Structure 1
Amino acid sequence: MIDHLDHLVLTTANEADCVHFYVELLGMKLETFGSGRKAFRFGNQKINLHVKGHEFEPKAHTPVPGALDLCFIASIPLDRVISALKAQSVPILEGPVMRTGATARIRSIYLRDPDLNLIEISELVA
């Protein structure tokens, strides 16, 4: 019945810090749509952005910043991701560690975005 994820919604307490993290640090593309709504585009997916207290309707029952645990597959080798994050003084909480992804084994690192969502960045392992 379900084929793939089109988008998800992230609620932030600080739009500027959130945009900086996903666009400047992770390299996603900022997209504006509708009546000034923002989203982060990467590959064939996107993350729509809601600002706490100014959410687009309909919305989750209890939208709160910091409630997500997201895993992204990197477009470059994980060691290059780690180097880029360290160059920007982004703390890595854990990793690299081996995990099980949706389609294969993955090698992952963990960090937090400005709203304290857990962000996992991974590479597929052959």
Structure 2
Amino acid sequence: MYREMIRLDILFYLLISTIISIATIIYISFTVPLAFSYRQKFSSSKVNKNDITALIPVYNENVNTFKEVINSVKENGINFIVVGDGCDQPYREIVESSGGVFIGLAKNGGKRNAIREGFKYVKTPQQHQ
């Protein structure tokens, strides 16, 4: 009698665990494909590029890399502000010749401080870093 109860308990636990396993497999097989097929709808035509400002902090960056970044932003027609964090030339010249705004900070205060100071000059509703 005692052995039969133990067998029933074991069979019950096996049945429950099998049901849970099957439910988990079904759930995963439906949700994983949905997760990979989901695409957020975004239309770039709704975004006016004049409503975006790119805020770029700079501190002793490689000049060639910096020029590439500025040219890329300029080619996309986005307003941009560069904050020189304790550095001025040649970044100021590059930015101003490209039509951007350069803000020079007297001493290096770190990236957070440079971004905080740059936000004071942003006049557009959408801001990208």
When normalised by structure 2's length, the TM-score is 0.26
Q: Which one has a larger percent strand, Structure 1 or Structure 2?
A: 1
Q: Which one has a larger percent helix, Structure 1 or Structure 2?
A: 2
Structure with the greater alpha carbon radius of gyration: 2
